[in-house]
Amino acid sequence: MAENEKRKVTFKVHRYNTGGRARERYVQAYELEVAKGQSVLDCLNEIKWKQDGTLTFRRSCKSGICGSCAMTINSVSRLACETQVLLLGSPTITVEPLKGFTVMKDLVVDMDRFMEKLIAVKPYLITKTPTPTDQERFQSPADRAKLDGLYECILCGACTSSCPSFWADEEYLGPHALLKAYRFIADSRDEGRKDHFEALDDKHGLWRCHYIFNCVEACPKSLNPTKAIAALRRELAKERIG
Amino acid sequence: MAATINPETVHDVQGVPVHNVHRHDVVIVGAGLAALRAAVEASTEFDVAVVTKVYPTRSHSGAAQGGIAASLANEEEDHWEWHMFDTVKGSDYLGDQDAIEILVKEAPVVVREFEHMGAPFSRTPDGRIAQRMFGGHTKDFGRGGAVLRACYAADRTGHALLHTLYENCVKNGVRFYSEFYALGLVVRDNVCRGVVAWDIADGGVHVFHSKAVMFGTGGHARVFRIASISLSSTGDGPSMVLKAGLPLEDMEFLQFHPTGLYEHGILVSEAARGEGGYLVNGAGERFMKKYAPEKMELAPRDVTSRAIQKEIDEGRGIDGKDYVYLDLRHLGKEKIMSLLPQIHELAWKFIHVDCVKDPIPIQPTAHYSMGGIPTDNDCRVLADGKKEPVVGFYAAGECACVSVHGANRLGTNSLLEASLFGRRAGKSIVRFLREEPPFPELPADAAAAAIDEVEGILASSGTERAGAIKAEMQARMTTDCAVFRKGSVLEQLLKEVSTLRERYRKVRIDDRARDFNMDLIEALELGRMLDVVEVMVAGAINRAESRGAHSRVDFPKRDDTGWLKHTLVRRKNGKIEFDYRPVVITRFAPKERTY
């Protein structure tokens, strides 16, 4: 298509909003002329700013790094800010909140439980050896490389939202929390394996994952929580054998 | 001294239900690097609450890419004195040298503490924290080449540090009030008594009563159309300070980052040039040789942004358009994917350019606020901008102006400043609280102004859409108050800003619900942005010289006789008033600045 050509796109947004009436779920369609390079977030903003200020969603960095705007776009969990509308190749875009979460309003879901599960795995470096003064702890590039693919998580919720095990068991910690746990277990500096494992060794924890790999597909940062979960199981087995 | 507390009346705030009044030793507004570093520090001894309009890990510090400066000398010889010289020169001699000395001397401690807390820094072959080059950071007081000073975690340094601090706050039991939007400060008789905030999720005004308040509310570059910064960076902190009748400092200085993704403004880290990327114009020439023959692409940001803008303005953009190329192709796929993976991802996702194969279209983008809330070196906010602290009120990071960046900030000095002065703010608060001051009395009408503002917007029958006012403001700021500025254009702009402020009084929102009303939040944010824009434009008119990021085509030279001083600006009875504060010069006398 030509550089400046615009295309008419219909956004079908799943809403949950009082809109002055009793609270109800409904689908509302908005039409927009979309140019090349415009993201789903750009379009939602345009709708909010020009057509309908009641349309509600989270957003912040619009650069794919803060994790605020994860939502379900054409049935897939994605970040709205980095999803280019025309590349979806569809004249109709369906926008829904993240699946499996409690909807608060329109595209906004309750993230508190999600964050509580993260906190449950003690998501911080635990050390027992005193820290060196006037110096960093040393870590070889090879040991540091073990954190690649783990520390980049932006806590957007796309993985957990895509996980059938989570849909079936809302107590399940979820891939985000398990990925974070492994980020510390895998860290050569960490001395708190037992502490991190405490929350994991549970039917709602490490053993709830059935290797469905939806989380891998959903992650906007191309991370692999399933691999991390498999590694955690190996590590936990080692821990038990002692 | 603070009045003694009356436990009978402390929770009696007019118009606010008792369960919405909270009491903590320390209330920190914001959750970026400065705020969370202060929280980590103060929570070791005291009860700390963080009030933040986004979940902490959504804060914009997380978007910083390239690194955090410290003369660790892990990779090659380096000294804090060199770092100090570079920062002073980079600031175009407007930075206060006593504060800069603190910055560069304490930098190694702050970076190593991050490592101790768990930050996943990239490593040298022998296991130390790895360091890379960045613009304006040099060897031997500018006489040598670029120095390896920026400590990094690939090109996700801000993300790595923000998450590390959040994790340590969790460990320390910091109480988070996420998705609470701060509406105003409670300051009476020069004593800060707390903060009033709106609970975004459920709706409703809350009062946070505290002995110490700290602002780490971030920058305000979102007032521009082309900006690297988040949609949430709307100058809330500085606006609340102005409303409390306190001054702001050096608001005319706003940094334009040279390399924003074309039309998106999204940051492409200076690390791309630190690792060897070229800037190329429409004629295929590395044009930086005309502007900074020695440092080339690693000249400081103000110099590089002006060079790019000049090439564009004179028709030498790509195909004569308003962008040039950042070319990384010669670095090769392996180097790009291992050292600059996020840049590769951003260019691909946002403009569909594979930077291994094609150059990236870029243009200058509004990036960083050098000016802000004036503080002393212990982060105490100054009531007169000079000497007199407001009791119990602290600020650090981008919302503050201490001032270490002066007229232009060097890359990687922002993560450093935010964490280092955040830490200092935390220590300063701890010292204050160890003296066991009582809770200051909370006035019964503490929330009155905030309630009026919110209820006024919720009930408004006006005719103006916030979105339309915002779009006009941002467009005008980008055309009229960006890299190059001109007095007559700025005068026109200031008139336009007052018209926009008039229109804002008639703002109406569609959403009248109280729960998760982002229509309301965006209207409130627009009001804050207009407050900031007004003093920024007025300051740009007032400062009749060119220094650092403030470049006046009608006053093209730096004027040390008239303008080697900080601007203090406040609103008094609806009028803007200026005052000044001398620059602290200790080691390096101002010289001509070339690269």
* pLDDT tens digit sequence for B452-478: 999 999 999 999 999 999 999 999 999
Q: Is the pLDDT of residue B4 over 60?
A: no
Q: Is the pLDDT of residue B41 over 90?
A: yes
Contact call for residues B417 and B405 (beta carbons, < 8 A) = yes
CA distance B217 to B370: 14
In terms of CA atoms, which chain A residue is nearest residue B106?
A: A134
Q: Which residues on A lie below 8 Å from B160 (Cβ)?
A: 151
Contacts of B100 (CB under 8 A, 6+ apart): B84, B87, B88, B91, B404
In terms of CA atoms, which chain B residue is nearest residue A140?
A: B127
Q: Is the pLDDT of residue B178 over 70?
A: yes
Residue B130 has which token pair?
């790895």
Q: Which residues on A lie below 8 Å from B173 (Cβ)?
A: none
Nearest to A63 among B128, B168, B267 (CB): B267
Tell me, what's the pLDDT at B9?
45
Contact B126 A135 (CB under 8 A): no
Q: Is the pLDDT of residue A162 over 70?
A: yes
Tell me, what's the pLDDT at A240?
83
Q: What number of C-beta contacts closer than 8 Å exist between A and B?
A: 163
Residue B248 has which token pair?
């702001």
Tell which wins on pLDDT, B220 or B263.
B220
Q: Enumerate the β-bridge partners of residue B210.
A: B24
Contact A108 B60 (CB under 8 A): no
CA distance A176 to B240: 36
Q: Which residues on A lie below 8 Å from B515 (Cβ)?
A: 104-105
Contact B465 A49 (CB under 8 A): yes
The alpha carbon dihedral of B261, B267, B272, B277 has a sign of positive
| Span B535-554, average pLDDT | 98
Name the DSSP letter for residue A232. H
Give B 189-218 residues with CB within 8 A of chain A.
201
Give A 199-238 residues with CB within 8 A of chain B.
none
Helix axes A225-241, A175-185, angle to 10 degrees: 50
Phi, psi of B366 (to 5 degrees): -60, 130
Q: Are strands B150-151 and B131-132 parallel, antiparallel or unpaired?
A: antiparallel
Contact B510 A52 (CB under 8 A): yes
Q: Tell me the CA end-to-end span of chain A in Å, nearest whole number.
A: 62
Name the DSSP letter for residue B153. S
Contact call for residues B20 and B177 (beta carbons, < 8 A) = no
Name the DSSP letter for residue B495. H
| Span B390-419, average pLDDT | 97
Q: Which residue has the tokens 């909807």?
A: A103
Q: Is the pLDDT of residue A156 over 50?
A: yes
Tell me, what's the pLDDT at B10?
52
Contacts of B314 (CB under 8 A, 6+ apart): none
Contact A37 B351 (CB under 8 A): yes
Say what percent of chain B tops pLDDT 90: 93
Tell me, what's the pLDDT at A23?
72
B566 CA to centre of own chain: 18
Which of B3-17, B370-384, B445-459, B473-487 has the least mean pLDDT? B3-17
Q: Which residues of B308-330 are buried (b: 16+ CB within 10 A; e: fewer)?
A: bbbbbeeebbbeeebbbbbbbbe
Contacts of B132 (CB under 8 A, 6+ apart): B66, B67, B148, B150, B152, B271, B274, B275, B339
pLDDT tens digits, one per residue of A4-61:
679 999 999 999 986 555 578 899 999 999 998 899 999 999 999 999 999 999 999 9
Q: In angstroms, what separates the C-alpha of A141 from chain B's closest C-alpha?
A: 5
CA distance A170 to A181: 19
> From the candidates B132, B273, B301, B581, which is the catalytic residue?
B301
Nearest to B467 among A49, A63, A65 (CB): A49
Q: In angstroms, what separates the C-alpha of A241 from chain B's closest C-alpha?
A: 28
Tell me, what's the pLDDT at B517?
96
B306 confidence band (pLDDT: 50, 70, 90)? very high
B51 CA to centre of own chain: 18
Q: Tell me the CA end-to-end span of chain B in Å, nearest whole number.
A: 50
| Exposure on the CB side of residue B351, measured as CA atoms within 13 A | 21
Rg (CA), chain B: 23
Which of B53-62, B251-260, B293-302, B557-566 has the least mean pLDDT? B293-302
CA distance B361 to B353: 9
Contact A140 B123 (CB under 8 A): yes
pLDDT tens digits, one per residue of B83-101:
999 999 999 999 999 999 9
Residue B580 has which token pair?
């000044």
* 3-state SS record for B37-74: HHHHHHCCCCCEEEEECCCHHHCHHHHCCCCEECCCCC
CA distance A74 to A78: 9
Contact B58 A68 (CB under 8 A): yes
Contacts of B279 (CB under 8 A, 6+ apart): B258, B259, B273, B286, B287, B288, B297, B304, B307, B308, B324, B325, B326, B327
Q: Is B295 helix (H, G, I), strand (E, B) or coil?
A: coil
Contact B171 A124 (CB under 8 A): yes
Q: Are strands B360-369 and B373-374 parallel, antiparallel or unpaired?
A: unpaired
Q: In angstroms, what separates the C-alpha of B532 from chain A's closest C-alpha?
A: 19
Q: In angstroms, what separates the C-alpha of B289 from chain A's closest C-alpha?
A: 31
Contact call for residues B264 and B351 (beta carbons, < 8 A) = yes
How are strands ordered across the β-sheet holding B248-249?
B248-249, B565-572, B575-582
Nearest to A56 among B471, B512, B518 (CB): B518
Contact call for residues B535 and B220 (beta carbons, < 8 A) = no
Chain B contact for A157, CB < 8 A?
Answer: no
| Span B20-28, average pLDDT | 96
Nearest to B58 among A60, A87, A137 (CB): A60
Nearest to B62 among A65, A108, A141 (CB): A65
B230 CA to centre of own chain: 11
The alpha carbon dihedral of B50, B55, B59, B65 has a sign of positive
Q: Which residues on A lie below 8 Å from B510 (Cβ)?
A: 52-54
Q: Is the pLDDT of residue A75 over 70?
A: yes
Q: Is the pLDDT of residue B326 over 60?
A: yes
Q: Is the pLDDT of residue A1 over 50?
A: no
Is B558 catalytic? The answer is: no
CA distance B64 to B200: 26
Contact B62 A59 (CB under 8 A): no
